[in-house]
Amino acid sequence: MELWTALALGFLGSFHCVGMCGPIAMAIPRSQSNFGFLTINAVIYNSGRILTYSALGLLFGLLGVRITISGLQGSLSVILGTALVLGVIFARFFKSYQPTPVKAISSWVTKTYGRLIRKESRVALFGMGILNGLLPCAFVYSGLAAAVLTTDALHSAGYMALFGLGTFPAMYFMYLSPNMLSLDLRNSIKKAIPFLAMGLGVFLILRGVALMDLELSAVLSKGLESFCVFPGTEMK
């Protein structure tokens, strides 16, 4: 995937972060109300979050490289796209269900986060950002699904770093001014996020089809070139 799509995906879905992670971000200690102080805190906290996203991108990117070498990236794209679409449908009908591993990760992150928040130091603040990035999140999974479809693990890490950077403005202003967005507006925005994930899923399926049969899908592949980095082509 082209790197610019990471910023776009992160920004478009950032209001999901406001709804899901906003309350966590607003709980960050505010020993001062000074604009500069709050800005530095926001940068430190979100840097930890972006670092986690980058590490996850690198990890999944290594998997993507192996699959590309095996010539199966087209199949992976279809599988990931289908998983996103089915995930949206599943979440729609089973909102309260969480697999045991997801519950375990969430529980550990929440407990560790609680210990750090009492320390009220900037080192702890950075650690809280790292933990935030580990919270199970369908929106982050969507970003990883796009990042893994590359021929370079560093490209995947960069993709997720830009993805996190795209979410920064909404998270920053939410921390700076908690009342900037009303609860009703945040809930309305959250309802639109599944459609974004569904659209990305369909896009990845089409990309996979183009990769597996470029001759029969020449028109389709040309239309996707602005968004995708295909194996064997120069990455931007």
Q: Summarize pLDDT for 58-93 with one digit per residue, the tens.
A: 998 887 766 665 567 777 788 888 888 888 788 777
pTM of the model: 0.74
Distance CA 23, CA 84 (A): 26
Backbone angles phi and psi of 234, in degrees to 5? -75, 135
Distance CA 96, CA 231 (A): 39
Closest CA to 66 of 178, 2, 153: 153
pLDDT band at 230 (very low <50, low <70, confident <90, very high): very low
Other beta carbons within 10 angstroms of residue 192's beta carbon come to 12
Q: What is the dihedral of CA 111, 115, 117, 118, to 10 degrees?
A: 140
Hey, where are the domains in the chain? 4-27+34-70+86-194
Distance CA 72, CA 63 (A): 11
| Confidence (pLDDT) at 143 | 84
